[in-house]
Amino acid sequence: MSSELVTCKDLWLSYGTVTALSGVNLTLAAGRIVGLLGPNGSGKTTLIKLLNGLIQPTSGTVTIQGLTPGPKTKAQVSYLPDRPYFADWMKVGDMLDFFEDFYLDFRRDKAEEMCGRLGLKKNVRIRTLSKGTLEKLQLVLVMSRRSQLYLLDEPIAGVDPAARDFILRTILTNYNEDGTVLLSTHLISDVEQVLDEVVFLQEGHVILHDNVDAIREREGKSVDALFREKFRMGGQGGKDNVW
């Protein structure tokens, strides 16, 4: 099908003796907002890094629009890492220049407008920004690209509810409608209503992949409630604790 954007086939990844992904099969269609959900250590970040070409699979394949992650896919994939990655001596304006230089699909006018709404001046140094403001700035830059795939690793972790609201609205109003957003989080109740579908990861396996409303219809409970149930009661296997 031409609407398939992401395909993972029997994807395995081991870090030495630790297996992070154990045979993941996953297809994501274009034009969707997808939640990648799972407890800490379930493989969310690993999967996102594989889609981004930052690490290579131990076995199996991952493709984006039929291509193995590399320079060609990176031009169409917008990535928000799970930790700050901007050089702290740079200024907000430097970051805008940097993104404009680097990505053909960067919409500078959009980024400037959103920075304006956040009250972020171009001559402010990254170092002086609070954690929440820095996360918002990173998200603004990432969402200002017109990409096929947005990979957002924990975009709402560690920020206050108002910042969370800003971030979710920024995602909703700026993503490319023909593209797909894959967003990892463990704060499900906050994001449930922005998602089309969810992927539950547990110990490197995909244990559920379905539409949010299909789950609500079938289970008679929210995805958040289902998640709590699966990972409280289903997590008795010894490996569940990452330490």
Nearer to other proteins, 94 or 224 (CB): 224
State the nearest-atom distance from the C-beta of 196 to other proteins, in Å.
Answer: 5
Give the number of C-alpha atoms closer than 13 A to the C-alpha of residue 132, restricted to the C-beta side: 11
State the nearest-atom distance from the C-beta of 121 to other proteins, in Å.
Answer: 26
Nearer to other proteins, 42 or 148 (CB): 148
Asked if 110 contacts 181 with a C-beta cutoff of 8 angstroms, the reply is no
The Cα–Cα gap between 127 and 115 comes to: 16
State the nearest-atom distance from the C-beta of 75 to other proteins, in Å.
Answer: 26
State the nearest-atom distance from the C-beta of 153 to other proteins, in Å.
Answer: 20
Nearer to other proteins, 160 or 213 (CB): 213
State the nearest-atom distance from the C-beta of 21 to other proteins, in Å.
Answer: 27
Residues that bind other proteins (CB under 8 A): 31-33, 165, 168-169, 172-173, 177, 192-196, 212-213, 216-217, 220-222, 225
The Cα–Cα gap between 100 and 152 comes to: 20
Which tokens hold the place of 108? 């500078």
Nearer to other proteins, 101 or 177 (CB): 177
Which tokens hold the place of 95? 């970051």
What's the start-to-end Cα distance of the chain, in Å? Answer: 41
Nearer to other proteins, 10 or 229 (CB): 229
The Cα–Cα gap between 190 and 207 comes to: 21
DSSP state for residue 50 in the 8-state scheme: H
